[in-house]
A and B are shown apart, each in its own frame.
Chain A
Amino acid sequence: MRTLISISDLSKTYSGGFQALKGINLDIRDGEILALLGPNGAGKTTLISIICGLINASTGSVTVDGYDIVDDYRMTRSKIGLVPQELTTDSFESVKDTLAFSRGLFGKKPDPGHIEKVLKDMSLWDKRDNKIMELSGGMKRRVLIAKALAHEPEILFLDEPTAGVDVELRKDMWHHINALRESGVTIILTTHYIEEAEEIADRVGVISHGKIIIVEEKTELMQKLGKKQLTLELQHELADVPDTLNAYKLELSDDGLRLIYTYDSQEERTGIAGLLSDLHDASIKFKDLHTTQSSLEDIFVTLVREGQ
């Protein structure tokens, strides 16, 4: 797939001296949904803010569809819609007016039909004449999304779009995000919810301490998710794993009291039956056993820890 946004060696040091981004390299593909996962303070918002023009990068460059975000800012910014993390809305303007304002700001001529469609998609049509301050928090978040869509962007940045949105509406929003992708919009979203990334992303990028640790197809990550571990609590301490069990690539814990077998639960033959019978033959007795499944969350936590 074609690369739409290309980020190279991007770093950001804030005026206080704090380095929030450390040499980010990332290619975002045309038409994909990319989820950026990362703990608080990882640098997600900083990265998005640079691409959208809110803050200046310290070093490095970003191109959008081949245009540089600094030199050709008119080209790049008119392609991008941004939904910020914080609920920053006007207060006294009506919902409809604020959308019309956004559209104008991005250089598009008025189009009430499009505004109506966006408001309906975001379930805000009933509230179109209300002042924004009369809306609930979740509604305000949807107003921000609607504002970002008012100028028909090709690329949409969503900085934690579903924070503070109830479960039903979250599902609904995922549905709309998918519909946008179908219509060709490239979507980059940040989230703390791993299920959210699982649910809608094509690729997942993990960012921690200002660095991209991994960017992978979600399906590949899901295969890692498919890995399971069988842990056997032994009755007697074991010095070494006998050679007859080599095929299973077992891990022995340091105290010699636990054997760990990692297998792929999506395989037809997990090898557990064979392992248990071979253990019996080797006269290794165990008192208990349990299985654990590594979740994307575990992968994420491990990655972030390793990345430090």
Chain B
Amino acid sequence: MNFHAVKAIYLFEMARTIRTLFQSVVSPVISTSLYFVVFGSAIGSRITEIDGISYGSFIVPGLIMLSILTQSVANASFGIYFPKYSGTIYELLSAPVSYFEIILGYVGAAATKSIILGLIILSTAGLFVPIQIAHPLWMLIFLVLTAVTFSLFGFIIGIWANSFEQLQIIPLLVVTPLVFLGGSFYSIDMLPPLWQKITLFNPVLYLVSGFRWSFYEIADVSVAWSLTMITVFLGVCMFTVWWIFKTGYQVKK
């Protein structure tokens, strides 16, 4: 195991985060605050409580998930796409590092950043609405699992992408809609029966539901299902990454 290499990659990526602190942290915090102003105060005051929780508090877990998902994908995909684009990936390919170590460095850094961001958003939300966390440990487990899984997913996108457009297209066309339709801002009980069924095919629903359960002990689907689904998705991402490197797809000519 080349620990020095993992550390080098990890620190390099974290340094990039610190350099771009404004985009990385300040802008998600601002947009989260805007969500609270719009949904929590302006609209939320007209929405009745959901399962005994005020609407403002209800959307907190979903908002955090929204940021974690989009930021994990964005960070990890950019992290590996950019060296490919600029050509500096030559150094990575010529170094005595295994694919596992490369992934550990990039995905580890992207996930770390998302987790920190999630916690910052959580604190920001605490300024607007009352929050209670019934199961802090489970909350952290869901947070970490989601961050790692979606960083891995982003890493795959970054390797697959051959242009900046391709890099943007998956987050825009897939991730964002799934998050918005995955019960981040509502309970699926509020949907017509057909849509409830369709929503069950949305993997994000399971993440948001499990995460919200760790806060308020209310869930759209059972916690066991949530955990199973995220583990399955993690497994699929790991297998894809393994396959990509095994076949050298899009990395080596």
Contact = CB atoms under 8 A, between A and B. Distances in A.
B87 interface: yes
Given A56-B252, A109-B4, A84 B90 contact: yes
A263 interface: no
B15 to A, nearest CB: 7
Interface residues of A, number: 34
B120 interface: no
B11 to A, nearest CB: 8
Contact of B94 (A77, A101, A109): A77
A93 B96 contact: no
Interface stretch (A47-55, A189-197, A280-288): A47-55
A74 B2 contact: yes
Contacts of A105: 4-5, 8-9, 91-92, 95, 97
A92 B19 contact: yes
Interface in B14-31: 15-16, 19
Interface string B75-107: 000000000001110111111111000000000
Mostly, the B contact residues are: helix
A149 to B, nearest CB: 13
B12 interface: yes
B4 A86 contact: no
B87 A101 contact: no
A9 interface: no
A97 B15 contact: yes
A99 B223 CA distance: 47
A80 interface: yes
B96 A74 contact: yes
Given A55-B252, A55-B253, A86 B87 contact: yes
A100 to B, nearest CB: 8
A77 B253 CA distance: 18
B253 A104 contact: no
Given A93-B15, A97-B15, A102 B91 contact: yes
B248 interface: yes
Given A107-B4, A108-B4, A88 B252 contact: no
Given A54-B252, A90-B88, A92-B19, A80 B7 contact: no
A106 B96 contact: yes
Nearest to B92: A105
A248 interface: no
Contacts, number: 78
B91 A147 contact: yes
Given A15-B253, A89-B88, A107 B94 contact: no
B142 to A, nearest CB: 32
A108 B93 CA distance: 17
A267 B19 CA distance: 67
A75 B2 CA distance: 12
Contact of B86 (A56, A73, A88, A104): A88
A263 B7 CA distance: 63
Nearest to B97: A105
B94 A52 contact: yes
Contacts of A101: 8, 11-12
Q: Which residue of A74, A89, A106 has the most chain B CB atoms within 10 A of its CB atom? A: A106
B94 A80 contact: yes
A104 B7 contact: yes
B62 to A, nearest CB: 34
A108 B2 CA distance: 9
B88 A77 contact: no
A103 B96 CA distance: 11
A56 B12 CA distance: 27
Contacts of B2: 74, 107
17 contacts: A14-B253, A52-B93, A52-B94, A54-B253, A56-B252, A77-B95, A80-B94, A82-B90, A86-B87, A88-B86, A90-B86, A90-B88, A100-B8, A101-B8, A105-B5, A107-B95, A107-B97
Q: Shortest 6 CB-CB distances between A and B: which pairs?
A: A104-B8, A88-B87, A77-B96, A74-B96, A78-B96, A105-B95
Given A56-B252, A90-B88, A104-B5, 19 more contacts: A52-B94, A54-B94, A55-B253, A56-B253, A74-B96, A78-B96, A88-B87, A88-B88, A90-B86, A92-B16, A102-B91, A104-B4, A104-B8, A105-B4, A105-B97, A106-B5, A106-B95, A107-B95, A107-B96
Interface of A: 14-15, 52-56, 73-75, 77-78, 80, 82, 84, 86, 88-93, 97, 100-109, 147
